[in-house]
A and B are shown apart, each in its own frame.
Chain A
Amino acid sequence: MKWGIVTFPGSNCDYDCHYVLKDVLKEDAVYLWHKDRDLKGCDVIVLPGGFSYGDYLRCGAIARFAPVMEEIVRFAKNGGIVLGICNGFQILTEAGLLPGALIRNKSLQFICRDVHLKVENRDSLFTRCIGKGVIRAPIAHGEGCYHADDDLLERIEGEGCVAFRYSSPDGRVIEEENPNGARNNIAGILSFDRRVLGMMPHPERCCEPILNNTDGLSIFLSIADKSRG
């Protein structure tokens, strides 16, 4: 399986994603530059975290018009697999590949700490290898408060598109565990066709025992198994 990791000006998690895929998982992984129009035959596209184009105007608002994004939108519309992490999630909502939007954290603070995530959907190609109901992963964002209006939220919930919710370590989805004010504690969502996942937590930052947490690995393994199977 060939993975393409997109670097925008201001991306800062692209190397971490590449390291996990290439060195930890021994997958075929290449970088894609924001000006590229060729996805180099990749099977999966990863939009990494960071501050693309300085987060000017709105997070992801400028990045979504990068040349590479035109190709990625086409790729996704044809059923291609796309994973957006943090700023990548923001870019995917701006590009219309995922419903809703990400707005300023309720606390107005940039939050950088581990959170627990209740895995709501364990059948998707992004979550099928997650062997437990709750995982732990770090978040690092100032604008990660997921917003969708009532009608859209009802559709997202009704179609089972919520992938992860902020929860307690034992999986209780409660307001006290909601770090940013996200509606329904949403930390990650799937597209309606289940081919695109956006999530605010960083799975690429918890993939090795030396980091005392390998929960993130199961997301990359879920995706990788798809093409092997």
Chain B
Amino acid sequence: MYRVKIHVTLKKSVMDPQGATIQSALESLGYQGVQNVRMGKYVELDLAQKDRGGAEKQIDEMCDRLLSNPVIEKYAYDLEELK
């Protein structure tokens, strides 16, 4: 069993008005030096798979088909084995 933590983010080439708005909000609160704010999504799930390779294969497939839209988004994930 694995705990999977998936981050889905917009590709660099895709406009991110949410990120820009958050950045200007942080600036208006007086925080200095905040740059390149990008808003993304976080998905956490547990996966009943015996080995890491099988888990990664399934996660890649799930991300490509549903959890991200490859036209506009990319994803990255961490795997943690649950004892």
Contacts and interface: CB of A to CB of B under 8 A. Distances in A.
A101 B69 contact: yes
B18 A100 contact: no
A149 B13 contact: yes
Interface residues of A, number: 21
B72 A147 contact: yes
B71 A181 contact: no
Interface in B6-58: 10, 13-15, 17-18, 21
Contacts of B10: 103
A182 to B, nearest CB: 10
B71 to A, nearest CB: 4
A65 B62 CA distance: 13
A105 B15 CA distance: 10
Contact of A103 (B14, B21, B66, B67): B14
Interface string A91-129: 001100000110111111000000000000000000000
A101 B15 contact: no
A181 B13 contact: no
Interface string A69-98: 000000000000000000000000110000
Interface of B: 10, 13-15, 17-18, 21, 66-67, 69, 71-72
Given A147-B15, A149-B71, 10 more contacts: A57-B67, A58-B69, A62-B66, A100-B71, A101-B72, A104-B17, A106-B17, A107-B17, A145-B15, A181-B17
23 contacts: A57-B66, A61-B66, A61-B69, A62-B66, A65-B66, A94-B69, A100-B71, A101-B69, A101-B71, A101-B72, A103-B10, A103-B15, A103-B72, A105-B17, A106-B15, A107-B17, A108-B21, A145-B15, A148-B71, A149-B13, A149-B71, A150-B13, A181-B15
